[in-house]
Amino acid sequence: MGDRMRCFRKRSTLPFLAVLVSFLLFLSLYLDDGYVLEAEKRDPGATLLPPAASDRYVHPFRDLTNFSGTINVTYRYLAGIPLPRRKYLTIGLSSVKRKRGNYLLETIKSIFDQSSYEELKEIVVVVHLADFDLVWCENLVQEITRKFPHHIIAGRLLVIQAPEQYYPSLEGLKRNYNDPEDRVRFRSKQNVDYAFLLNFCTNLSHFYIMLEDDVRCSRNFLTALKKVITSREGSYWVMLEFSKLGYIGKLYHSKDLPRLAHFLLMFYQEMPCDWLLIHFRGLLAQRDVIRFKPSLFQHMGYYSSYKGAENKLKDDDFEEDSIDIPDNPPASLYTNINVFENYDATKAYSSVDEYFWGKPPSTGDFFLIVFNRPTKVSRIKIVTGTEDRQTDVLHHGALEVGQRSVGTKQGRQCLSYVTLGEFRGGNIEVNNVNQKIGFDIECVRIVVTASQKEWLIIRTISLWTAQLRIGT
């Protein structure tokens, strides 16, 4: 995983690529996304053999500008077969042989161990063994079958392979970032590995989350995911992120997987997968990162799958017990506090590590959140100030919730409000909100109750919507 963790820093890209991507991807919006998926079923213990010459794949990349074309991949089923009923979530992993260490079995174990019985009914784990060493694949399948037989029988675990004959050439690839030839080959093949995995998973569930093969999961991560997804019903999103590392914990609608698979195949040699995912998200009109904290998945591998190099990166937002993840519902934000530079109101409500910063507020000034639709809220927590600016807190303020929103010249506002409490030490936390009020909330408002000389930082606004049980 040597170059998977590049998502923290700003990306550079080639102008011609952006133009080409835009043209081809938006062309695809008007074309059919149908796929023909064929499967060569086999018993878990059977010997891995290459397909007969008559079954070999005719290279698909010559037709990639035709998005109505199919990706005809004859997958090998190495363990398990899909069940006819669509699940709620597919968890996709792609794995290759590492020179040092192997974490795949620990990752699979963590997925199952950290899920309740009810959650297990709603997931399917698909492992793509993307290494061309068939002996290694055979041995690993035997280990997986021995350790997880009941999950395979229950249809919760599938192990597949897209044979080598289906891959494009991995020789003479572009070296856009002056990377060594072997690194370019590694990351280009990785793009194809994931494309074939996404293509396979298209019809297995309603949602798909991408993990890597060296990940530890938080407890009841599916319940947290489902709660976030439910809170965002009616709003547009392409990718939700539940880890800030690489492409761990990236969630998609399954209906978007075919287009994403085509996208990775088209540009497999241009840049690493995590960079391509960012471009894909932007081209489908999700401009901003939508990331939730605490993170639900943690990188646990010590050695990279690229040359066995050391990789000690960790997600410092990960929590083992993070079922209580805030799921701020989609909303518009307004304030009449004088904003400093680009520290605008949205940054207090977003999941990125930024904040709202305003000049000294006066009595009656407000910071307003208006939900896209009425919402049941169970908990609200607001933190002002930062460690290095501890005086820039809200010294005197109240937290209110409102209903009956209407449009005004200043934006949407609610007609009536109920006060939930006063800020103490710059912070406020209110639990059991939905039990204290008799209506679904449309507005959350912070009101300044006394002028202050200090500036105001609103560091985080965390909202928890009323929780749903898995299967409801």
* Residues 343 and 284 placed together within one structural domain of the fold: no
Would you state the pLDDT for residue 467?
53
Whether 9 maps to a domain, the answer reads no
Q: Which domain holds residue 375?
A: 331-465
* Residues 285 and 338 placed together within one structural domain of the fold: no
Would you state the pLDDT for residue 5?
41
Would you state the pLDDT for residue 100?
63
Would you state the pLDDT for residue 211?
93
Structure tokens at 66: 């035709």
* Residues 258 and 338 placed together within one structural domain of the fold: no
Whether 1 maps to a domain, the answer reads no
Whether 278 maps to a domain, the answer reads yes
**What CATH number is attached to the domain comprising 439?**
2.60.120.260
Structure tokens at 445: 């408002």
Would you state the pLDDT for residue 19?
44
* Residues 239 and 342 placed together within one structural domain of the fold: no
- Residue found by looking up tokens 């002056």 in the block: 178
* Residues 171 and 124 placed together within one structural domain of the fold: yes
* Residues 255 and 360 placed together within one structural domain of the fold: no
Q: How far apart are CA 302 and CA 308, in angstroms?
A: 9
Whether 317 maps to a domain, the answer reads no
* Residues 86 and 142 placed together within one structural domain of the fold: yes
Number of domains in the chain: 2
Tallying the residues shown for the chain, one arrives at 472
**What CATH number is attached to the domain comprising 156?**
3.90.550.10
Contacts of 460 (CB under 8 A, 6+ apart): 348, 355, 381, 382, 383
* Residues 451 and 353 placed together within one structural domain of the fold: yes
DSSP 183-251: HHHHHHHHHHHHHHHHHHHTTTEEEEEE--SSEEEPTTHHHHHHHHHHHTTTS--S-EES-SSTTTTEE
Q: How far apart are CA 358 and CA 339, in angstroms?
A: 4
The tens digit of pLDDT for each residue in 127-152 reads 999 999 999 999 999 999 999 999 99
Would you state the pLDDT for residue 7?
37
List of the chain residues with pLDDT < 70: 1-70, 100-101, 173-174, 176-177, 301-324, 351-353, 467-472
Whether 12 maps to a domain, the answer reads no
Residue 260: name the closest of 158, 187, 192 by CA. Answer: 192
Would you state the pLDDT for residue 14?
41
Would you state the pLDDT for residue 16?
44
Contacts of 44 (CB under 8 A, 6+ apart): 78, 79, 80, 141, 142, 145, 152, 159
Residue 458: name the closest of 444, 470, 468 by CA. Answer: 444
Residue 40: name the closest of 205, 215, 163 by CA. Answer: 163
Among 276, 299, 322, the domain boundary falls at 299
Residue 361: name the closest of 389, 388, 402, 397 by CA. Answer: 397
Would you state the pLDDT for residue 77?
94
* Residues 364 and 416 placed together within one structural domain of the fold: yes
* Residues 269 and 167 placed together within one structural domain of the fold: yes
Whether 64 maps to a domain, the answer reads no
Whether 259 maps to a domain, the answer reads yes
pTM beyond cutoff 0.85: no
Angle at 303 between CA 266 and CA 144, to 5 degrees: 80
Q: Which pairs with CB-CB distance under 8 Å and at least 24 residues apart come from 10-19?
A: 11/271, 11/275, 11/278, 13/271, 13/275, 13/279, 14/176, 14/270, 17/267, 17/270, 18/279
* Residues 166 and 239 placed together within one structural domain of the fold: yes
Would you state the pLDDT for residue 395?
95
* Residues 295 and 335 placed together within one structural domain of the fold: no
Would you state the pLDDT for residue 29?
40
Would you state the pLDDT for residue 303?
44
Whether 201 maps to a domain, the answer reads yes
